[in-house]
Copies of this chain bind each other. A is one copy, B any other.
């Protein structure tokens, strides 16, 4: 994650680790971070004044994941409170990329960082244009330096 993409991180949301999210290694099972990225993404969109739920129901648009990656730095443990920091790293046409950093709230230790790339699709999973007011809000949320 370069400094230019870090500069776009602009929203925070918190989750507490559920017992169901741990595994027998005694730490959080790694796939759950992708779920938390989604929690961060939805809250980020909400903080831009938009609503992903309405994007689906009103516009018939879905943002399907085309790529996801995560780098695990330190384990999250049961009952830890976590901060998910989310930003839009890039958007053009029907493509949008989000960056994430998950920190432990108690000491702000970085646990995981990652990225997801999405394309807008319609109900039949065919590529579709990004609705205009979403595209504008997403672009505005970007710092000038990315892309």
2-59 of chain A: CB within 8 A of chain B: 16, 18-20, 22-27, 29-32, 34-35, 38-39, 42, 51-53, 56
Q: Does A98 contact B (CB under 8 A)?
A: no
CB distance from A100 to the nearest CB of B (A): 13
B residues in contact with A31, CB < 8 Å: 20, 31-32, 34-35, 38
Q: Which among A31, A34, A53 has the greatest number of chain B C-beta atoms within 10 A? A: A31
B residues in contact with A56, CB < 8 Å: 24
Contact A53 B79 (CB under 8 A): yes
Q: A24-B78, A75-B125 are in contact. Are A65 and B19 (CB under 8 A)?
A: no
CB distance from A126 to the nearest CB of B (A): 12
Contact B72 A30 (CB under 8 A): no
**Docked complex Cα distance between A24 and B57 (Å):** 11
Contact B79 A25 (CB under 8 A): no
Contact A67 B71 (CB under 8 A): yes
Q: Does A70 contact B (CB under 8 A)?
A: yes
Q: A24-B24, A26-B24 are in contact. Are A66 and B75 (CB under 8 A)?
A: no
Q: Does A64 contact B (CB under 8 A)?
A: yes
Q: Which among A24, A27, A64, A65 has the greatest number of chain B C-beta atoms within 10 A? A: A24
**Docked complex Cα distance between A13 and B72 (Å):** 26
Starting from the known contacts A19-B24, A20-B29, 9 additional A-B residue pairs (CB-CB under 8 Å) come to: A19-B38, A22-B24, A23-B23, A24-B27, A24-B78, A31-B32, A31-B35, A34-B34, A67-B71
